[in-house]
Structure 1
Amino acid sequence: MNKIKLTAISTTVVERDHAVITGDGFVNSAIPGWTNCEVNVVINEAMGAKFCQLLVTLNKATVLKGTTEATQIFFYVIDGSSEVIVDGKTHQLTQGSYVYIPVNKNYEFKNASENTKFLTFHKTYEFLEGYKIPDVIVANQSTVNQNIYCDDPDLLMQNLLPDQDNFSFDMAVNIFTYNPGANLPFVETHIMEHGLIYLQGQGIYRLADKWYPIKKGDSIWMAPYCPQWFGALGKEPAVYIYYKNVNRFPIKP
């Protein structure tokens, strides 16, 4: 009996103000200075976003080397380990580690374990008069406090960048944990743009007027003012890491 491979089926959806990217249609991209690795451009300006989100798979021969110019980069280790040299210092990274590299910095990632996976967020830095460019940050999510969100102990937020206390930052990266059965207390509609990937669990996401089943490994883009809501399903927490733009004028002064 012949087996038919259904190559025309995908759960990825791209709309005017949101997208759900499930990874079943990824095609490799090449980035100058990033060698011996797989790079998937998940979110980008080509779809209407004002930032970029990548998934990168590294191996022992991988080298990610470059200089940030107009764009800052946030690296997060989803799985595996690597070494990074930035600002003249060498750091060992493991699962949950993250590196924030501001503009005008040289960086090099190397000596990764096989099948190490990175998430990256890239955003053009918006200078703000009276505030200096942020410093390099190398840390691990395990050292970041979980704060209760909207007075609900089943909603827990980790702020990986000190954006709430430092207007030098024009981007935030947070990890949001929903305990089983937890959900956002209202449908959010706001000027901030989001990019995210699920690290654990599953649930239902409302984007605009549509509803999507979401699971570990899925990524989402939300344009400004896209109505959004999420509810966790299943017996384990649903966890995602997400980007948003913050701390700048909604219109140029």
Structure 2
Amino acid sequence: MTPPQKASYYTPRGGLPPQTALLTDRAVVTEAYTVIPRGVLSDIVTSVFPEWTRTRGWILNRPVAGGSTTFFQAIMEVQPGGGADRPEPQPEVEGFLFVTSGALSVVADGHAQTLTEGGFAYLPAGTAWSARNDADADATFVWIRKRYQPVDGHAPSVRFGNERDIEPSAMPGTDGKWRTTRMLDPQDLAYDMHVNVVTFEPGATIPFAETHVMEHGLLMLEGKAVYHLNGDWVEVQEGDYLSLRAFCPQACYAGGPSNFRYLLYKDVNRQILL
């Protein structure tokens, strides 16, 4: 039997395309979805944040008219010695961190944890937390932020872990070739978002056009696939990003030769307010 592959996590390194490069790329913004190819993540599109030192970020999603409205998502790169004592400027906003390279030291509600590749932290709204890079190499992580929607009788707590330590759940009828690693309990009403790592083995597929109310942020961690989005075929590879609006029809084929894996955000578990 072939031993399981070690999970990999694509991490952007910036730079700038040469003057000889063609302008044509796969970036597109439509009424239903946005595609940000990894080649877009150059030095000149980074942002700096007033709460952070020795840090830059590629903002992938923010609430915007005509786009996804429930979340912020960015790839953050922290140099050695950098970080933030109070990273979150809004007490009503929850956060989720997922490390793709290096090591990030996080302190939340008095609990300290060093997150390495695949490590994550869920940080409830109102949590006092900090993050620093105490290592000798850059630390890169995905930061998801959402305004929390509280529900009486259900309060989330700080959660640390590593996706490599969680047993994935196979999707029914797929013989385990399509599986989901759930980092937050999908049945716990304390959470109003899910963040999962989804894995497809080569040739596996979402065999129907999912059409649902949940918005999605998908960061491709490994491999390649072809997505069917609102009637369009879109080829993606590790490092690409998709932002999908509510009710955007979506399906995919995993292309191989390696597994196709992505980090998935979606909003869940709340009544629609009218």
Query: Under a length normalisation based on structure 2, what TM-score does the superposition of the two structures give?
Result: 0.86
Q: Deviation at 1:151?
A: 2.2
Would you say 1:148 and 2:167 are equivalent positions? Answer: no
Percentage of identical aligned residues: 27
Would you say 1:49 and 2:49 are equivalent positions? Answer: no
- The structure 1 segments of at least 4 consecutive aligned residues displaced by more than 4 Å after TM superposition are none
1:22 maps to which residue? 37
Higher mean displacement: 141-150 or 20-29: 20-29
Equivalent pair of 2:52/2:83 in contact (CA under 8 Å):
yes
Q: 2:207 aligns with which of 159, 167, 185?
A: 185
Provide the rounded CA distance (Å) in 1 between the counterparts of 2:227 and 2:142. 21
C-alpha offsets along residues 149-207 of structure 1, whole Å, 9 cap, x if unaligned? 13212111111111x22101100011110001000021100001100101110010111
1:209 maps to which residue? 231
Would you say 1:61 and 2:81 are equivalent positions? Answer: yes
Equivalent pair of 2:227/2:252 in contact (CA under 8 Å):
yes
Q: 1:129 aligns with which of 148, 152, 160?
A: 152
Q: C-alpha root-mean-square deviation of aligned residues, in Å?
A: 1.6
2:182 maps to which residue? 159
1:37 maps to which residue? 55
Partner AA of 2:148 in structure 1: Y
Equivalent pair of 1:83/1:112 in contact (CA under 8 Å):
no
How many residue pairs end up in the alignment?
248
Provide the rounded CA distance (Å) in 2 between the counterparts of 1:236 and 1:60. 32
Gaps of 5+ in 2: 1-17
Q: 2:24 aligns with which of 9, 28, 45?
A: 9
Would you say 1:238 and 2:231 are equivalent positions? Answer: no
Provide the rounded CA distance (Å) in 1 between the counterparts of 2:163 and 2:211. 27
Q: 2:140 aligns with which of 94, 105, 117?
A: 117
Equivalent pair of 1:12/1:24 in contact (CA under 8 Å):
no
Query: Under a length normalisation based on structure 1, what TM-score does the superposition of the two structures give?
Result: 0.93
